[in-house]
Structures are given as C-alpha cells and as structure tokens.
Amino acid sequence: MGDAPSPREVRSYRAWGAARRFTNGVRDPAFRELLQLIDGGPMHQCPPPVLLPDGAAAFRAMIEAIDAALEEVLLETYILRDDKLGESVQQALVRAAARGVRTYVLVDAVGSMGTHDRFWDSLTEQGVVVRHFHRFWHHPLEALRRDHRKLLVCDRRVSFTGGMNIGEEYGSSIRARHDVWRDTFVQIEGSVARELAAVFAEGWDRARGPTLPGLEYVSWSDDAHASPQQNVAAVGTLALQHRLQSALQRQMQRRLGRQRDRRRGRRVRRDVDVASPDDRAILVLDPRPGRGQREMLGVLAALLGGARARLWITTPYFAPPTRALSLLLAAARRGVDVRLLLPSERTDVPLIRHAAHGVYRTLLESGVRIFEYERATLHAKTMVVDGHASLIGSSNLDFRSFWLNAECNVLVFDDACAAALERSFHEDLANSHEITMDEWRQWTWAHRVLDRTARALRWAL
C-alpha cells in the first residue's frame, strides 16, 4: 500500500504522481482517499449498479422507475425530443403527476430547442413543472455554458445517469438499426440518489425553478449554500434582508461564496451511506462552470496514474488538453493496455473526429490501440481501469465538457460493474475497425492537413 497523499499534492493537482506511487493502483485504499481529497465528496456504499448499454433496456427501466415513484421525479437532460420515445417518457411523467407525485423536468434550452412548445405546454398543463436551462433572454452573456447532464432520480432512492439523451435514436427497438446511437446508462440506488438529487437542484436553481423540499445544495445563482427546507416566514425574512443589502454587499457575498465553493469543491451532503475501504463505492463527479472542473481533471489524472494493467476509454469526442494527452501516453509507455474506442465516419461531429485524428500518430507510436466504431453513431462516455474502477457519465474528453458544460458522472469501484463494462467494450470492438500505423500512413495529405487544423482549433470546437 502506498503512502497517503499530502494536501499540497492535492492542492497543486499532482494527482497523477500521487496515484503512481500506490502499489495496487486504483485498488489501493489510499487511491480512494486521494480522490476524496481531490473532490471533497463522499464515497457512497450502494447495492450493485446495473449497467445499461442498450437504449431500449435503459428507457424501459427509466419509465418503470417513473411509474413506481411515490413522492418525486426529477428528470434532467440535454435533449428531450417530441418523438415517439419522448412522448412515451412524457406520458410516464404525466401519469406520475396525476398520482400526486412532485414531477420536475429540466432541459437545456439549446439542446432541446427543436422540441415544439406544445410538448412542454402539454406537460405543464397536466401538472409537470418544466424549466429550460440558460434561455438566451435570461443569461445572454453565458450562452456557451450549457447543461449537458443526463439524470433521472425517483424518490431520491433510484437514480439513472450516463450519456443518453431522450430521443428515438437512442432506443434500438424503436428505430431501424442503422439509425441507432450507441450509448451507456447506469442505474444506481442508495444514498447516491440523494446526492444526484442535489446535483439536479443546482441546475434547477440556475433555471429559476421553484424550491425543492428537503435538499441542501450549492446555489448556482448566488454561490451560497441554500437550504430549501425553510418555512414561509423565514423565506420572507431572507427576501427582505436581500432587498436591504446594497449592491456592493451582494457583490462581496458572491465573491466570498465563490471562494468558499472553490475550497469545499462540493455541496453539503446529509444521510450518506459511507463506504468502507473494502465496500463497493460510488463517487459523484458533477463539474459545472465555476465549480468542480479542476477536481474532475484531477480525478481523471489520478485514474491515468493509477492504471496498472488496463485502461479502456470510450468517447465520441476526443480532443483532450495537451497535459491530459501526455498522461494517457505515459500510461501506454509504461506497459498499460490503453485502448480508445472512438467514432468512425458515422460521427455526428466530423470536425471533432478530425481533431482526434490529429493525434493518432502520437498515440499509435506510444502503444495506444485505437478502434473506430462502425455499427452506429458512437455517443457513450465511459472508462474502465484494471477491472475495478468504472467511470460512466456525460463528460466528453474535449474542451466544452471540461470548461463550459455542466456534467454528471459516477465513478464506481466494483469488480462486477467493471467486468460488465469490459464485456460491453469487447462487444463494441467486434463492431469496430482497428487503426494501425500502416493505415495511418496511407491517409492523404489533405486529410492530415485537416486533422492538424482541427486539432489546433480544438478549444473552439
């Protein structure tokens, strides 16, 4: 077992070097301690997570959870389409509201801009509370900052997260096979669901949603710890106090709140089922602009440093910062089996694919194996390390996810979940084409020029 990292190493984001010292890598108990020092969040003990790599199965499970909800449904997604799948989710939400269940829907204003107003009106008229994140007229100076999270939390007991938006392209039993998108979700129960409810509350607050009862969270708008569990008199008193404060005082409070937020890195948590070093454990990683971004990068660096045998990554948009790329290359050079599953020509963003191609030669020369998925449009965002640590969520390995989007990911420490993710990875490889150095050398000069240009512009993609 390696020595526990010092606070200085964590503060300076030397997570990769600290993880390299652990004899057992991601299996070392000190590795979990390192991540908690970086992120500040708890390690939740929980029942076995259920991996959902198939869209049809994922949406069946989600609709069943909504139908079983007794008190509350929280749904947050980047895209909610008004197609057949979207309508089936809509109907489940309406059924929940009709039973008296508190039902809240948060969608990104840009991601879901193609959905007609009558879809939202129908939800609202039947008791579902709907909010759109970052409408242009609410936040005109922050239009680039989007809510990319995908969450469903029912009764703060059952939760789902991953990379799937809500649309027919994700439901393999709904559309023709050639139109299906390949993605992954995970179902989790236990106290982690309460934390994911707090993640929802943060975006809900930013979208000017009404108070959610019984949650403590970091208010996005004010950078202050908000407790919605207040009585009417307390709310009135607070409102009066805010009106009496000067603009200068409010500005100072926001500044101090941001400083405190950066120090803590997390929102307040209660009623957590804390995992012991030998338990199955889950850590929630939910960066958003202004909070948690460096922590997310630190955790990724630690995973790269803690890998000892296998490091398998699936991502649709591969344009990492230079530092992150160098750590990935270092893992391959020290003998770790590093594999990347990336999109083929069926990608929905060709320019990002060219940005990835811009580093293929460097990756291949360092021993990284690269596969391009050909069966469908790849959209899954997962990482599995040494058959033990599994990262599943909404974050891509690109600038937008690192610095502009609100994201949600879960890091699962469990051999069974990792084995399921590795099996899914192998199945995807059977439908993929491996890129070799000989093949790369046959690419035309025009292709390579476009690759280098896209790589140079990766910060703007």
Q: What is the pLDDT of residue 14?
A: 85
Q: What is the pLDDT of residue 370?
A: 98
pLDDT at 399 over 60: yes
In 10 A of CB 319, how many CB atoms? 28
Q: What is the pLDDT of residue 171?
A: 73
Q: Specify the pTM.
A: 0.86
Q: What is the pLDDT of residue 401?
A: 93
CA pair distance 355, 346, nearest whole angstrom: 15
Residues with Cβ within 8 Å of 125's Cβ and at least 6 positions away in sequence, in order, are: none
Q: What is the pLDDT of residue 271?
A: 65
Tally helices (H) and strands (E) across the chain: 17, 22
CA pair distance 40, 38, nearest whole angstrom: 6
Backbone angles phi, psi at 373, to 5 degrees: -80, 125
Q: Which residue is listed with tokens 């790369």?
A: 440
Across the range 309-326, mean pLDDT stands at 94
Across the range 332-345, mean pLDDT stands at 97
Backbone angles phi, psi at 386, to 5 degrees: 55, 30
| Dihedral sign of CA atoms 213, 215, 216, 218 in order | negative
Of 320, 328, 357, the C-alpha closest to 458 is: 320
CA pair distance 228, 137, nearest whole angstrom: 26
Q: What is the pLDDT of residue 178?
A: 55
Of 12-26, 161-175, 234-248, the one with minimum mean pLDDT is: 234-248
Q: Are 33 and 3 in contact (CB under 8 A)?
A: no
Domains of the chain: 7-40+286-460 (3.30.870.10), 50-216 (3.30.870.10)
Mind listing the pLDDT tens digit for each residue in 92-146? 999 999 999 999 999 999 999 999 999 999 999 999 999 999 988 777 778 889 9
Question: Buried b vs exposed e over 212-227: b needs ≥16 C-beta within 10 Å?
Answer: beebebbbbeebeebe
Reported confidence tier of residue 163, pLDDT bands at 50, 70, 90: very high
Mind listing the pLDDT tens digit for each residue in 33-48? 999 889 888 999 989 9
DSSP for residue 348: S
What is the average pLDDT score of the chain? Answer: 86
pLDDT over 90, % of the chain: 71
CA pair distance 276, 12, nearest whole angstrom: 27
Across the range 170-178, mean pLDDT stands at 56
pLDDT at 445 over 70: yes
Of 284, 339, 278, the C-alpha closest to 307 is: 339
Amino acid at 323: R
| Dihedral sign of CA atoms 404, 410, 413, 417 in order | negative
Q: What is the pLDDT of residue 143?
A: 84
Mind listing the pLDDT tens digit for each residue in 427-440? 999 999 999 999 99
Give the CA angle between residues 291, 12, 296 to the nearest 5°. Answer: 35
Backbone angles phi, psi at 166, to 5 degrees: -110, 100
Of 3-12, 131-140, 369-378, the one with minimum mean pLDDT is: 3-12
In 10 A of CB 434, how many CB atoms? 11
Mind listing the pLDDT tens digit for each residue in 241-279? 433 344 444 454 445 444 444 433 444 345 677 777 778
Of 131, 148, 261, 151, the C-alpha closest to 196 is: 151
pLDDT at 318 over 80: yes
Determine the straight-line distance between the first and last CA of the chain, rounded to whole angstroms.
42
Reported confidence tier of residue 293, pLDDT bands at 50, 70, 90: confident
Q: What is the pLDDT of residue 81?
A: 96
Amino acid at 123: L
pLDDT at 419 over 70: yes
Q: What is the pLDDT of residue 30?
A: 93
